[in-house]
Structure 1
Amino acid sequence: MASLLPVPTEAGDVRPGPITDAEAAAMFRAALRLFARWGVSDAEASVLLDLPARTFARWKAGATGRMDRDRKARLSNLMGIHKALRIVFAEPERGYRWIRAPNAAFAGRSALDVMLGGELTDLMRVRRLLDAERGAW
């Protein structure tokens, strides 16, 4: 998974590098704040991050463990969704509410309902819709 910030290569190019564990831990802390704004329960957060409930509780208490590529990808997509919502909606509260609102693009389901399918591709589906809406694709 690519990092959020580019890193220089030997040739002087700037290309994304892998997300470090420290970056992933920072994204996890940001995701906790985002979940609070979205009104996401701990059980729902566990599904979004594909973490057992006990592990999520331990990480939430500050004891984050090593994160694999899938978890880093999930966090990256959640941050991308948040960023896109901030661009699409001038008022942040509208973006926070949009997550739970029925959406024709998802056959009347909310973005949160789609993401709670539990697969990484469910998060990616929501992110792609928002990226298309903001003109990123």
Structure 2
Amino acid sequence: MLQPIATRAPDFVPDQITDEEGGAMLRAVLHLFGKWEITDEEASVLLDLPVRTYRRWKAGQPGRLDRDMKARLSNLLGIHKALRIIFAEPVRTYIWIKAPNEAFDGRSALDIMLGGELTDLMRVRRYVDAERGAW
């Protein structure tokens, strides 16, 4: 006979990303977008911002970074980190984003991420984390 198992919440609770950390993440992602050679329109979809707002942020006038934005930035940087572990040559990490991939039915990782949802970014991140052997 099945017996219920008592469970409790884990003791570890990650710290929230501070606004200062979020600002640093945003600057890193803006730099990364340049390496990925994506358009302002694509970048605005990835960050879920109007293009005008993205261009203002890109020009050094960022607005408030809410929880969703910090999660988007975290996933984008996580994707980049995993790719840097997978590929020894940095250039390969940048071109992989636009390359067709069988794991995505011939679409590129960028195509998947341009779905615009946070879960689209998370899908690509889970894939690259699994490929690198998440530790």
TM-score by length of 2: 0.89
Higher relative contact order (CA 8 A, sep 6+): 2
Q: 2:76 aligns with which of 78, 93, 99?
A: 78
Q: 2:102 aligns with which of 104, 109, 120?
A: 104
Deviation at 1:14, TM superposition (A): 7.4
Deviation at 1:95, TM superposition (A): 1.1
Partner of 2:3: none
Deviation at 1:15, TM superposition (A): 5.1
Deviation at 1:51, TM superposition (A): 0.6
Deviations 1:68-91 (A, max 9, x none): 111100000000000000000011
Partner of 2:116: 118
Instruction: Count the aligned residue pairs.
Output: 125
The separation in 2 between residues aligned to 1:39 and 1:61, in whole angstroms, is: 17
More strand by share: 1
Deviations 1:45-72 (A, max 9, x none): 0000001111111111111111111110
Moved over 2 A (4+): 13-16
Deviations 1:13-49 (A, max 9, x none): 9753101111111111111110011111111000000
TM-score by length of 1: 0.87
Percentage identity across paired residues of the two chains: 73
How big is the alpha-carbon RMSD for the aligned residues of Structure 1 and Structure 2?
1.3
Name structure 1 gaps, 5 residues minimum.
Answer: 1-12
Question: Does 20-29 or 78-87 show the bigger shift?
Answer: 20-29
The separation in 2 between residues aligned to 1:39 and 1:118, in whole angstroms, is: 18
